[in-house]
Amino acid sequence: MPDVGLLTPGADLAPGSPAARTDDVALLRAMLRAEAAWVRVVVRHRAAGSGSAADSDTDEGADGGADRGTDGDTDAGAGAAEIDAVVERLAGADDDALALATRLARAGAAGGNPVIPLVAALREAAGPRLAPVVHAGLTSQDVLDTALVLMLRDAAHEAVGDLDRAAAAAARLAAEHRARPTLGRTLAQAAVPTTLGARFAGWLQGILAAGAFLADVADALPLAYGGAAGELSGVAELSEVAALSGVAEAAGGEETRATTAEDRGHARPAFELVEAWGAELGLPVGPSPWHVTRTPVVRISSALAETCVTLGKVANDVLQAVRPGIDELREPAAPGRGASSAMAHKRNPVLSVLVRRSAIAAPHLAAQVLTAAALAVDERSDGAWHAEWPALQQLARHTVGSAHAAAELLEGLEVDAEAVARNLRHGLPDAGPAPDVGSVLDVGAAAAVVVDRVLHQYAEQMRQGA
C-alpha cells in the first residue's frame, strides 16, 4: 500500500494537500515528463534531417540490439503527440499512475533505481516506431536527477508562495504592534523591555531571507545530463558528432578526411540536443554534467532546511507565548484543531507543533544529502547517490507542509495585549531608568526604528517583485 503521510500530519499526501506534489506519483510523472521531453527533442532533431535516433549502451543495460533508427521522415509533431499520448495512458489517471509507481518500486530493486523498469514500460507502450528513441543516449541518473529537480522546484515554488503569505502576515503584526512594550527574555530569564513589533520584525526578516534564498536556488536548479559515464557519447552519437568530427572513419591504414563545410552545416553538436532538452523542461543547462558534483542538491537541501529552521523560530516563540501563565498569543481557531483525545478542555497549539516538528527533522535530512555529496566517487556513486533520494523527498515534504502551516498560523495569530502588559510588569517590576535598562518608553522608540527598517526592506522586496 502507498505511503499517505500518516506519520507526517500537516505534510500528508492526501489529494489536494500541498505536500502531495512530493509524493511518489509526482516523482513518477516528473520522470515521464523528462523522458517524453527527450523523445520530442530527438524526434525534432531527426525530422530536421540531421541524424537518426538510436539506443545507447548505458549502465542500465538498455537494449543495445534495437534497430538503430526509425523512419527518417518521422514527423516531429506526430512523434510529440504520440509520446504525450503514451505518457497519458501510463500515468494520466491517478489510479494508473499509482499502480505503475508501485510496480516500479518493486522492480527497481533489480537494478537499484526506478528508471530502468520505467524505460522498459515506456518503450513497450511506445511501440516499435518510437521505442528506439525512448531514453536513447541517456542514463538513469540523467532522468532521475532531472525528475528530482522538477519535483524539488515545484515544491520550492509552493513553499515560496506560502512564505509570501507568512511574510505579509508577519509584516502586518510588526506594524500593528510596532511600539507595544513586552518582556524581553534571554537564557530563559526576564531581561529587559523590548517590543512585540521588534519580535515580529525578527520573524519577518528571517522569512524574507529564507524565501529569497529558496526561490533563487530553486530557479537555478539545472538539468541533469551526461549519459553513461558523464561523457555524452550516447548523445554525441545521436547528433552525429562522432561521425562528422574528422576522427578516423576508415578502417585499417586509410587516410581520414577532414569535416567538410557541408558536414558541419548538417551536424548538430551533442550540446545542442542537451540545450533543447533543458529548454523543453524549462531548466537551465550547466557547463558540464553534475553526476558526482552534487552542488545543485547541496544548495537546494540547504535552502529547504533553512526555510524549516527559520519557521521553527517562529513556532518556538509562539509555543512559549501560549503557555498557561504567559498567555500572550493564541493560535487561530478552527473546528477540531488542537483537540485532545483525553482532555476535552485543551486547545493545543498544533500548527506551531507541526512547524517545530519539521524544523527539528529538516537539518538531519539536509545533513544526509550533504554527507552523500561528500562521499561522491568516480563517475557515479555507489550508494551515496541513492541515499540522497528519500532525504530530498522528505525534506521537500517538510518544507511545503511547514510553510503552509506557518502561513495559516501567522495570518490568524491573536495577541492578548493585557497579558503582554501584565507579564512585563511582573517580570520587571522595577523596569525604568537603570545603568543597563532604559525606560520602557525609550526602549519602545528605539525598537520602532528596527521595526521600520525591516518593514522598509519588506516593502522594497515587494516593489521589486511586483
Q: Which residues are catalytic?
A: 340, 380
Beta bridge partners of residue 317, listed in sequence order: none
Radius of gyration of the chain, Cα coordinates, nearest whole angstrom = 28
| C-alpha torsion sign, points 89, 92, 94, 98 | positive
Contact by Cβ (8 Å): 378, 228: no
Q: What angle do CA 290, 158, 371 make, to 5 degrees?
A: 35
CB atoms within 10 A of CB 130: 22
The residue assigned the cell 523542461 is 281
DSSP summary character for residue 292: S
Selection from 165, 174, 279, 163 nearest residue 222 by Cα: 279
Q: Which helix (H) or strand (E) holds 362?
A: helix 350-374
**Burial class, 172, CB count within 10 angstroms (exposed 0-12 / middle 13-18 / buried 19+):** middle
Q: Report CA-CA distances (Å) from 245 to 8, 138, 232, 272.
A: 55, 21, 14, 15
* CB neighbour list of residue 78: distance below 8 Å, 6 or more residues apart: none
- In 319-432 the beta strands, taken as DSSP E runs, fall at 329-330, 414-415
List the beta bridge partners of residue 193.
183
Helix residue spans in 108-240 (DSSP H):
115-130, 140-176, 196-220, 233-238
Count CB-CB contacts under 10 A for residue 120.
18
Q: Using an 8 Å Cβ cutoff, are 224 and 141 in contact?
A: yes
Place of cell 518493486: 106
Residues constituting the chain: 466
How do beta strands 181-186 and 189-195 pair? Answer: antiparallel
Question: In whole angstroms, what is the distance from residue 339 CA to residue 347 CA?
Answer: 6
- Helix, strand, or coil here: 329? strand
Residue 411 CB partners (closer than 8 Å, separation 6+): 165, 166, 169, 332
Report the alpha-carbon distance of residue 201 to residue 453 in Å, rounded: 9
Q: How many CA atoms lie within 13 A of 14 on its CB side?
A: 8
